[in-house]
């Protein structure tokens, strides 16, 4: 029987191609957040920085530029296909001080006190046991080491990500997601996030909101992006008739109508949180 961890990894393996197709949009939408995370982390030359759940890797590559000439980035993800995507992106950017490996954030294959800093953008809420992953982050950090995390705020503040799912739930095509299961909004409650981080033995230095703006040239463009980035939505649509799938899109369109520009493009705000923690 497949474990939850195995099922999660297989889902991300299946989603990797879509994430790579949408990498430019993701970079544009999260650029301000990525820059803020790296500024909070403040990596310096000679350090070793571990990125967990790196996906296509762009947050870590911003840090890698500040580690030269003798520092290094360990870019990791639990899905081999995501690691391959990050490797290709590094080649495009000419990043030469990065190593790539498949790594489970809940069981990091590094010795204690192995790295100076850790980056985990939109990953910690997706693992089956966030407390275990945070304990692993604390374990591999050297004394005074830093970790930056990004999580999504409440689903109501992130219509770009939730419009299709809410439509499908209202139509009875899927169950309402379990708020305690791995997912984008698993750690949307800042108090729960604080408790998990401090429970892992880390001191929170900063916890702040960061606004995001997603853009799509059209509703159809958003719809394709939504399918590329959500394996759950993609799988659901495969199980529906074309008419049922259209009804999901129609419901999502009604939710997103207030963000439509005169030319048919969309500008949809989102909200995330950035956290800096220190291992004392």
**Residue 256 falls inside a structural domain:** no
**Residue 237 falls inside a structural domain:** no
The tens digit of pLDDT for each residue in 156-166 reads 999 999 999 99
- Domain holding 128, by residue range, is 4-156+179-216+270-278
Provide the pLDDT for residue 8. Answer: 79
User: Residue 89: pLDDT above 90?
Assistant: yes
User: Residue 41: pLDDT above 80?
Assistant: yes
Question: Tokens 């809420």 correspond to what residue?
Answer: 125
The domain that holds 95 is classified in CATH as 3.40.50.150
Tally of structural domains, the chain: 1
The first and second tokens of residue 255, run together, are 């939710």
User: Residue 5: pLDDT above 80?
Assistant: no
**Residue 223 falls inside a structural domain:** no
User: Residue 2: pLDDT above 80?
Assistant: no
Provide the pLDDT for residue 10. Answer: 84
**Residue 109 falls inside a structural domain:** yes
**Residue 116 falls inside a structural domain:** yes
Of the listed ranges 95-99, 100-104, 123-127, 229-233, the least confidently predicted one is 229-233
**Residue 240 falls inside a structural domain:** no
Higher per-residue confidence, 142 vs 3: 142
pTM of the model: 0.95
Higher per-residue confidence, 191 vs 16: 191
The CA–CA distances, whole Å, from 82 to 10, 13, 23, 182, 273 equal 11, 7, 11, 18, 23
The tens digit of pLDDT for each residue in 163-183 reads 999 999 999 999 999 989 999
Q: Are 86 and 56 in contact (CB under 8 A)?
A: yes
**Residue 166 falls inside a structural domain:** no
Residues 6 or more apart from 248 whose CB is under 8 A from it?
A: 164, 167, 168, 171, 173, 236, 237, 240
Total Cβ atoms within 10 A of residue 39? 14
Sheet containing strand 115-121, strands side by side: 98-102, 72-77, 48-51, 115-121, 141-152, 266-278, 203-216
Q: In whole angstroms, what is the distance from residue 226 CA to residue 66 CA?
A: 33
Q: Are strands 98-102 and 72-77 parallel, antiparallel or unpaired?
A: parallel
Q: In whole angstroms, what is the distance from residue 129 CA to residue 105 CA?
A: 10
**Residue 244 falls inside a structural domain:** no
Provide the pLDDT for residue 4. Answer: 63
270 alpha carbon, distance to own chain's centre: 13
């Amino acid at each position: 029987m497949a474990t939850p961890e195995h099922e999660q990894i297989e889902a991300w393996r299946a989603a990797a191609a879509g994430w790579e197709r949408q990498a430019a949009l993701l970079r544009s939408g999260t650029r301000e957040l990525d820059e803020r995370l790296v500024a909070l982390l403040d990596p310096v030359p000679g350090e070793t920085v571990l990125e967990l759940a790196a996906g296509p890797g762009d947050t870590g590559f911003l840090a890698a530029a500040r580690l030269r000439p003798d520092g290094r980035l360990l870019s990791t993800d639990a899905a081999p296909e995501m690691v391959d995507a990050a490797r290709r992106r590094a080649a495009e950017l000419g990043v030469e001080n990065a190593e790539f490996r498949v790594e489970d954030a809940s069981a990091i294959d590094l010795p204690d006190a192995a790295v100076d800093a850790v980056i985990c953008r939109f990953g910690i809420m997706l693992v089956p046991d966030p407390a275990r992953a945070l304990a692993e982050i604390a374990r591999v950090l050297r004394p005074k080491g830093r970790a930056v995390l990004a999580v999504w705020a409440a689903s109501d503040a992130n219509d770009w990500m939730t419009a299709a799912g809410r439509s499908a739930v209202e139509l009875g095509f899927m169950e309402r997601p379990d708020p305690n299961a791995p997912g984008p909004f698993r750690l949307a409650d800042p108090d729960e996030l604080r408790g998990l981080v401090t429970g892992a033995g880390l001191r929170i230095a900063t916890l702040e909101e960061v606004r995001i703006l997603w853009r799509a040239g059209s509703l159809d463009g958003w719809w394709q992006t939504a399918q590329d980035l959500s394996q759950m939505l993609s799988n659901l649509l495969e199980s529906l008739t074309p008419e049922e799938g259209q009804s999901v899109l129609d419901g999502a369109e009604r939710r997103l109508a207030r963000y439509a520009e005169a030319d048919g493009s969309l500008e949809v705000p989102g909200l995330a949180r950035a956290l800096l923690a220190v291992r004392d």
